[in-house]
Amino acid sequence: GQQLNQSPQSMFIQEGEDVSMNCTSSSIFNTWLWYKQDPGEGPVLLIALYKAGELTSNGRLTAQFGITRKDSFLNISASIPSDVGIYFCAGQEDSGGGADGLTFGKGTHLIIQP
């Protein structure tokens, strides 16, 4: 089955720093999604990418769908305390008509020191 490698596993940064995390896949995905999960809560969708090469922003967040369709990155600029959490990438093989669920990375724990 598909495998997603997400890195880094955890990040300890100072408030105000920029953050970068990425996911690589052993197979091609047609959709890449980035989620944030707070403790005791469900994943919340941050950015959805549907096209190879697509670069999408959502406030201080920017994500790109790699040209090879096998990777994606998420950047957070000027981190603030509420950015703390676990960030998951997720890929979906079929962009329509299929039956696949999402394949998730293992998450990046973001910890911000004031």
Partner 1 sequence: NAGVMQNPRHLVRRRGQEARLRCSPMKGHSHVYWYRQLPEEGLKFMVYLQKENIIDESGMPKERFSAEFPKEGPSILRIQQVVRGDSAAYFCASSPVSGNTIYFGEGSWLTVV
By CB under 8 A, name the one of 11, 19, 25, 30 that touches partner 1: 30
**Alpha carbon distance 20, 37 (integer Å):** 17
41 binds partner 1 (CB under 8 A): yes
DSSP secondary structure of 15-52 = TT--EEEEEEESS--SEEEEEEE-TTS--EEEEEE-ST
Region from 14-22, 57-65, 71-79, 87-95 binding partner 1, contact rule CB under 8 A: 87-95
Work out how close the CB of 51 gets to partner 1 at its nearest, in angstroms, rounded to a whole number.
13
Work out how close the CB of 78 gets to partner 1 at its nearest, in angstroms, rounded to a whole number.
26
Q: Quick one: 90 exposed, middle or buried, by C-beta within 10 A (0-12, 13-18, 19+)?
A: buried
59 binds partner 1 (CB under 8 A): no
39 binds partner 1 (CB under 8 A): no
**Cβ-based neighbours of 22, under 8 Å, separated by 6 or more:** 6, 7, 71, 72, 73, 74, 89
91 binds partner 1 (CB under 8 A): no
Q: Which residues bind partner 1 (CB under 8 A)?
A: 4, 6, 30-31, 33, 35, 40-45, 48, 88, 90, 92, 94-107
